[in-house]
Amino acid sequence: GETEEDFQETLRVVREARFASAYTFQYSIRPGTPAATMPDQIPKEVVQDRYVRLVAELEEISWAENLTKVGSKVEVLVAVGEGRKDSATGRMSGRARDGRLVHFSTNPHVRPGDVIETVITYAAPHHLNADGLLLSHRRTRAGDVWEAGRAVKTPGTLLGLPTVGAPAPLPPVNGCQ
């Protein structure tokens, strides 16, 4: 298994690389994999301790790296999945060119798939905020497609075809359900 020295080397690489973000997971045994039967498995409490230490290191670095973006202009691809944050802030979200999550002030003309330019006003370990006005808004074909998919569609003609979807449940046979 991984020694403490091995783990310290991982932390050294993390410090040197200065990742803006990283997805980390605790190792867990997966039955049927070669690693599941290897000797010298690391106790769960050691895995947990190392995970907590790794995440703390990553968060400190991510926050410091994100703080360097405060005051800078960023171009953001507006995301469809992250959408408006809430009615109180009126924010939408997207990703900067380097993949960082950006929550920004918006207006009703901005659509998922469009590209905006704004200035970062706040940094946190996992995201950036841009609470000022948008510097620019570029409508895109991706935004057009999103908007077309969101538009109210008129009912089509079925031409006698059955409805697509899951079939209705069959009645019980011989008292079985």
Q: Quick one: average pLDDT of 136-152?
A: 87
Same domain, yes or no: 93 and 109: yes
Domain membership flag for residue 171: no
| 8 A C-beta contact, residue 65 and residue 53 | no
Model pTM? 0.72
Judged by average pLDDT, the poorest of 40-49, 84-93, 163-172 is 163-172
Query: Quick one: 80 and 57 in the same domain?
Result: no
CATH number, domain containing residue 79: 2.40.50
106 against 44, higher pLDDT: 44
Give the Cβ contact number of residue 139 at 10 Å. 14
Say if residue 50 is in the same domain as residue 14.
yes
pLDDT at 162 over 60: no
% residues pLDDT > 70 (the chain): 82
Same domain flag for 94 and 138:
yes
Torsion of CA 138, 140, 144, 146, to 10 degrees: -100
Mean pLDDT across the stretch 162-167?
60
- Is 46 inside any structural domain? yes
- Domains identified in the chain, total number: 2
Residues 14 and 63 in one domain: yes
Residue 24: which residues within 8 A CB-CB, separation 6 or more? 51, 54, 55, 58
Specify whether 77 is located in the same domain as 140: yes
pLDDT of residue 51: 96
* Domain span including residue 101: 73-150
Residues 134, 98 share a domain = yes
Which of 51, 67, 83 terminates a domain? The answer is 67
Identify each DSSP E strand in the chain by its residue range.
73-78, 91-96, 101-105, 115-119, 122-123, 128-130, 136-138
177 belongs to a structural domain: no
Is 161 among the domain residues? no
What is each CA distance from 171 to 31, 162, 163, in whole angstroms?
A: 40, 20, 20
1-5, 74-78, 122-126, 153-157: least confident range = 153-157
